[in-house]
Chains A and B, each alone.
Chain A
Amino acid sequence: MSVQVITGNHAAGYALSAAGEANRTSRGTACGIYPITPQTEIVEYVAKFPFSKGRVVPVESEHSAMAVTIGASIAGARAFTASSSNGLAYMTENIMVAGYYRLPIVMVGVNRTLGPPWNIWADQGDTLMLRDFPWLQLYCEDSQEVLDTTLLAFRLAEDHRILLPALTCMDAFIVSHTQTETTMPDQADVDRYLPDLDLPHRMRYDEARTIGGLAWPHEGLSMRLEIDEAMKRVPDVYQECRQRFSEVFGRDPGDVIQTFGTEDATQILIVTGTMATTAREVVRERRAAGEKIGLVKIKMFRPFPEGALREACATAERVAVLDRNYAAGTGGVFWQDTRAAFQGHRDDLLIQNYLTGLCGEDVTPAVIGDILEDLSERDAAGEPVWMGIDTTKETLQ
């Protein structure tokens, strides 16, 4: 174990490679890779990694990258890849296939604005567009969380009670290209944490069969239900994986939601990713000044941690959901799911949506302050509020 100053991309590349290498005593590792800013350094890292068993296949597109990864996974390899933004959009058909095949693939998504207009900066709209697919989604705040969560994602995805692919996400540049001190686990510890992959429906050379061929409606229905059952098991299995992680690495990879000052808060900010760092500091200062404000960082988006969220907001009267994404025609994606989580449980709770940091805008302490001010002055929730831009005058009628 050593501490190094590295970027989020480096952390992701290291975690994927160490996890792949840990399967060397079984079917090894294999994956398809294709570059796109700002995740290119991840696939460059895995392409250079001297795997003992397996290979990394550079292909001509994201769609093929996932196709190769699916093939590798179904043959029993520990398979992974990475992409971003429009690359994920192009990969989408096969992303869905990986989920319905129940393959424990781990993908790192670097959250970048979908174009046009062309934009390389942070926005979660790309991975959130995959929200209805059978994938686990985990959002991270810094390099350490990226590294730890990526390793955890393999154990969680490969657990026989789950067997679903997992997506680890980080904000473009703010995590992917920012160098901070990060604790790097030794391979031996990764080997201990990630036992050989044992895929129950693995394709074998001597047993020809078809997976995912035509299924009659009732059989299809059955498989959908199995996915729902697996998703429902995730919170418990996650805690087991988190516990085991702490035993092996001596570090908590973090709960599905993480709270700060919620125990007595009447107003709570619900945030994700790097916004959490800034918001936590603002909350710390406000609490020091005596305000009863709390913070919830949502780490796991799929499955959505409804129960934990309700518990964390037990004392809250008002909740602000900060979304670094915009689902056209409604508002923020995290806001929609938060409202659903409280509906019928806490109909008295004021849940207001703030769209902030879209297209890579910097979410500063001043922005968080403006949100808290708006929230405290409200009598009732309203339309999602666009932060940092004039909404009083429409440009084109």
Chain B
Amino acid sequence: MIEIRIHGRGGQGGVTLAKLIATSRFLTGQSVQAFGLYAAERSGAPVQAFCRYADEPITNRNLIYEPDHIIVLDPTLISAQISAGLKAGGWILLNTTQAPEEFANDFSHSRIATVDATTIARNNDLGTRSVPIVNTALAGAAGKMLGIPLTEIVAALEHLGFKGTNITAAERAFGEVRLLDSPREPAPLEDFTLPTNTARGHSILDSASMAPPAIETGQWATEQPRRQQMIPPCNHICPAGNNVQGFLDALARDKTDEALEILLRSTPFPSICGRACPAPCMDNCNRIEIDGAVNVRQLERFAGDNGKVTLERRGARDEEVAIVGSGPAGLTAAYHLARLGYGVTVFESAPEIGGLLRAGIPEFRLPDDVVDREIDRILDLGVAVRTNHPVNRPALLELAGNHDAVLVATGQQALRDLQLGMNGVDAVVQGIDFLDHVHHQNVRVDGEDVVVIGGGNTAMDAARSALRLGAESVRVVYRRTRDEMPAIREEIEEALEEGVVIDYLTQPVTLHDEATGGIRRHYTLTCRRMELGEPDASGRRAPQEIPASDFDLACHRIVLALGQSPDLSVFPEGTEVREGTQLLGLLETPVFAIGDLATREGTVAAAIGSGRRSAARIHTVLSGESLPITEHADASRDVEIWKDEVIHADAMKLHLFERQAGTEGESLPVSKRRSTFDEVHMGLETPAEAARCLSCGVCNECDHCVTYCPEGMLKRVGHRLEFDYTYCKGCGVCAAECPRNVIVMSHL
């Protein structure tokens, strides 16, 4: 009788290998047995299988303690102990890339055979890459080793239904197996004594024996959990480069100061953006798929208005930087450069600094004291200011001459006009100029019918201001539909609430003087109906005139809010003005255009982003040090895989979150708004809304993984998660229960 013991790991097919060898002998008329030693194992656990064959009926039903031969399916199981009980002169077949001679010392009484069954199995697509099924290859190798003809091994394979690559694998291994036919020590082994253990085991009453069994179940794993971090969509989309998830996480923990500190790493204007930002983060919030976006805008305002942070300059540097223009881009650049230790001077043509932050956004959206507070925070860093100081082309060259770097942040000063056939009429005013008058309280429109032309925030601000200044009626005329309006969605809604009428798909054509004898001059604006055609270069559907659709609007005043473009007269003709491009290329001094002047993006948030990037760029030029362009969640939380991708809702386990409606915060009643420039929104009273943040792709220490780990091998230590891979079986429950795709399974 021949007895073979097989050592492998669950999933490699050891029991089937025993059956293959047994079947090959059964088909030649021998008596056979094939069986496994089963326990609570799973894929990857060390397992044993056994095979017996004999000419006479087999009369032994025990395990095999003194095998004639041994087969080892997994290279990691090869050790001296594996040959326990092997009879002298018996074969030991190893799945390894090594030559049999290399094991001659380890198994000195044995004949040794080796074959790279793993590669053969992989090349034949047997099993998976992490668990290749090597049994059919080893059947071929065992056949060669045992003197079984290949035809009989193939017959056994076919008898058991194997075909194709399994047979190829057996044939290859039969040919490739290397045999070391003579043991290094021909002397016989000492008699083998079956180790017996009659000692008592654990008592069920003994509390000390209740510890988990010291089976290192980690060796069963074919996958292991890892900590991953991805980019939340809010962080990705934020034009200012804010760590949105980070400050919301701090607010959710009721750490308002920490939230402000996180915001101030990227933006000096949280209170301003918390009021005036179009908040693309909210349009891209994954929570929309559950019950609506997190109210990020109001939460940023909460942090900005309520947080307390003492800012410090990071050292002092000798270099001086000039910044032309004191809008949000210029001031943001000044803020970051000052914090980095540079000397900064801001040049502003107007009597006060702030640019469009002051004159461009009316008080009911952005009160002056909020702007003052945030500008003061910048000035407190030691930024110098020259107001009433316009900079023309010669002056720019001079600044470049006596500074180490110059940033030009003059925004979009050139206003788009519309030819209505009656230029120079007092009643036609540019929206920016109108808002500037409003800001300086030197305009009233009592009793007037006002028409505002345009669909952006300037149009909405002008229309809403006109209502508050006593207009009888305010109409907005826009040539496309509401969907195409560039204004912040909430501002359109609020304008309509307050009584502004919007004529969509309407194009003004001509303006006529109405020769009436009233107190005011009366005009007639002839408009034409439009329809949307094919998308144009901006991707929006282009409006096309509908023939014979003209109609008239009576009005006293017309506000043009058609957009702005940069005034490039300060640069030499033909200068390409883009962010990051060195201007005035003949000079050694870096001169960069930043903000709307360079990007034309037209929002405060975009200007902040541009100012911040440009400050970093100047710093790199002057110091050689690179700074990160975007703020992302703190990597100190032991992230193993930094996946530089935005996490979308489909990668989140949204069903694991409870529904919870969002918080808007209080607003001034509509009835009161027409008579006051008081701020419409009153802000949130608490930061509780921040708890709705899903923390997409970033661990927020919810610890579902720790709770659900069936092995109890996952622990939180401070901000870190500790996986005990000695016992982690790779079951994947932690990954299945992670709502935010932070725990991911990784193949070994």
Binding site for B on A (CB under 8 A): 5, 38, 116-118, 120, 142, 173-174, 177-181, 274, 277-278, 280-281, 284, 362-366, 388-390, 393, 395-396
Binding site for A on B (CB under 8 A): 18-19, 22-23, 26, 31-40, 58-63, 65, 194, 196, 198-200, 203-206
Q: Which residue of A lies closest to B199 (CB)?
A: A390
B59:A277 contact, CB within 8 angstroms: yes
Interchain nearest-CB distance for A336 vs B (Å)? 25
Interchain nearest-CB distance for A7 vs B (Å)? 8
Q: Which residues of A contact B33 (CB under 8 A)?
A: 178-180
- A-B CB proximity, top 8 nearest: A178-B35, A179-B34, A277-B61, A274-B61, A281-B59, A395-B203, A390-B198, A5-B26
Q: Which residue of B32, B63, B200, B205 contacts A390 across the interface (Cβ within 8 Å)?
A: B200
Interface centre among A178, A281, A363, A388 (most CB of B within 10 A): A178
A116:B200 contact, CB within 8 angstroms: no
Interface centre among A142, A174, A280, A364 (most CB of B within 10 A): A364
Jot down 6 A-B pairs with beta carbons below 8 A, ordered by A: A117-B204, A173-B36, A174-B61, A179-B18, A280-B59, A395-B200
Q: Which residue of B lies closest to A174 (CB)?
A: B61
C-alpha gap A179/B36 in the complex (Å): 10
Interchain nearest-CB distance for B53 vs A (Å)? 10
Q: Which residue of B lies closest to A179 (CB)?
A: B34
Q: Which residue of B lies closest to A274 (CB)?
A: B61
C-alpha gap A38/B40 in the complex (Å): 11
A178:B60 contact, CB within 8 angstroms: no
B58:A180 contact, CB within 8 angstroms: yes
Interchain nearest-CB distance for B212 vs A (Å)? 13
Q: Which residues of B contact A120 (CB under 8 A)?
A: 38-40
A5:B32 contact, CB within 8 angstroms: yes
- A5-B26, A180-B32 known; A278 and B200 CB under 8 Å? no
A5:B19 contact, CB within 8 angstroms: yes
- A396-B203, A396-B205, A396-B206 known; A5 and B59 CB under 8 Å? no
A5:B22 contact, CB within 8 angstroms: yes
A181:B62 contact, CB within 8 angstroms: no
Q: Which residues of B contact A284 (CB under 8 A)?
A: 59
Q: Which residue of A lies closest to B65 (CB)?
A: A364
Q: Which residues of B contact A274 (CB under 8 A)?
A: 61
Q: Which residues of B contact A281 (CB under 8 A)?
A: 59-60
C-alpha gap A117/B204 in the complex (Å): 8
B204:A116 contact, CB within 8 angstroms: yes
Interchain nearest-CB distance for B683 vs A (Å)? 56
Interchain nearest-CB distance for B485 vs A (Å)? 60
B62:A173 contact, CB within 8 angstroms: no
C-alpha gap A388/B200 in the complex (Å): 10
Q: Which residues of A contact B65 (CB under 8 A)?
A: 364
B196:A388 contact, CB within 8 angstroms: yes
Q: Which residues of B contact A363 (CB under 8 A)?
A: 62
Q: Which residues of B contact A178 (CB under 8 A)?
A: 33-35, 61
Known: A173-B35, A389-B200. 11 other contacts (CB 8 A): A5-B22, A5-B23, A120-B40, A173-B37, A179-B33, A180-B33, A277-B61, A366-B196, A390-B198, A390-B200, A395-B206
Q: Which residue of A lies closest to B34 (CB)?
A: A179
Interchain nearest-CB distance for A273 vs B (Å)? 9
Q: Which residues of A contact B40 (CB under 8 A)?
A: 118, 120
Interchain nearest-CB distance for B58 vs A (Å)? 7
Interchain nearest-CB distance for A81 vs B (Å)? 22
Interchain nearest-CB distance for A96 vs B (Å)? 29
Interchain nearest-CB distance for B31 vs A (Å)? 7
C-alpha gap A281/B206 in the complex (Å): 40
Interface centre among A117, A178, A179, A277 (most CB of B within 10 A): A179
Interchain nearest-CB distance for A387 vs B (Å)? 9
Q: Which residues of B contact A366 (CB under 8 A)?
A: 194, 196
Q: Which residues of B contact A388 (CB under 8 A)?
A: 196, 198
C-alpha gap A117/B61 in the complex (Å): 25
C-alpha gap A178/B65 in the complex (Å): 17
Interface centre among A118, A142, A177 (most CB of B within 10 A): A177
C-alpha gap A84/B62 in the complex (Å): 22
Interchain nearest-CB distance for A12 vs B (Å)? 16
Interface centre among A38, A181, A281, A363 (most CB of B within 10 A): A181
Interchain nearest-CB distance for B667 vs A (Å)? 56
A177:B38 contact, CB within 8 angstroms: yes
Q: Which residues of A contact B18 (CB under 8 A)?
A: 179
Interchain nearest-CB distance for A89 vs B (Å)? 18
Q: Which residue of A lies closest to B205 (CB)?
A: A396
C-alpha gap A284/B56 in the complex (Å): 15
A179:B38 contact, CB within 8 angstroms: no
B35:A177 contact, CB within 8 angstroms: yes
A277:B205 contact, CB within 8 angstroms: no
Q: Which residues of A contact B26 (CB under 8 A)?
A: 5, 181
Interchain nearest-CB distance for B715 vs A (Å)? 26
C-alpha gap A48/B665 in the complex (Å): 63
C-alpha gap A174/B58 in the complex (Å): 14
